[in-house]
Structure 1
Amino acid sequence: MTVRDAVFPPGRQALYEKNRYSAAVRANGLLFVSGQVGSREDGSPEPDIEQQMRLAFEQLNAVLAAGGCSFSDVVDVTLYLVDPEKHLDTLWKVLPDYWGPAPYPALTGVGVTWLYGFQFEIKVTAVLPATQPAHAS
């Protein structure tokens, strides 16, 4: 049986505990990061779509750091976007600020009708650096 080593960024664990999931799980040399959204401190959606996307990336980076990774360790990305036709240009504007240089990770984009009040969510899988112990926090 695989051991789930839960990872939480500083200061946000209560939001994950309330909703009964981990921000990320380390297992078998990988970091599986739950979908990150652009929430304010209280967990409510940031109303401005560009700022919501930026907050989602900032929160993603905090989870990656808590897991011993950075975005350069990400190998697979899934993006969820409500009304992609309306918001895709904003996403392409924000993405380069967080994506880093090529080669880029694999990417799947999914248009959805509902994200619990959010317009954007990002979920990733990262490879743990070789120097990172599998169960260090």
Structure 2
Amino acid sequence: MNIFSQGKEKPGLSQKEKAEVGRSTWNLLHAIARRYPDTPSKKEQKAVYDLFESLHILYPCKPCASSISAFKKSNLLRAQNRSSLIFSFCEFHNWINIKLNKPRIDCTAFTEAELNPGITHSHSKFISTIKTRIISIIHQIKSIL
């Protein structure tokens, strides 16, 4: 049950609001993953799943909330340690990017960079950048055809 359902339902978000909420959500999720413990307690692991349950109920964009719910129920959400959560949130981000016809990123390179922010990963970053550009070009070509 949506906790907002008792009052008058608000109109849907504008495209600008969706973009703003989306960016803010990604910033929050990726920040949580970056600071997540290497060896989280059961309580911390449960909190990750509870966060997705809460977002599913409270998120102001219904289609987005449904994607959050589907991701939570999938095998892709993993909270065993910092590395798995960073990778998991990256996969979720890619999953949404596919739905929005946006380019995906290399989650292995992303996770490596998030775990080692002071180290330059020039080769993996270069490969990831090339892959992203190729995928973007493919999406542009598909939209023209």
- After TM superposition, the score normalised by the length of structure 2 is 0.31
Higher strand proportion, which one? Answer: 1
Higher CA-based Rg: 2
Higher helix proportion, which one? Answer: 2
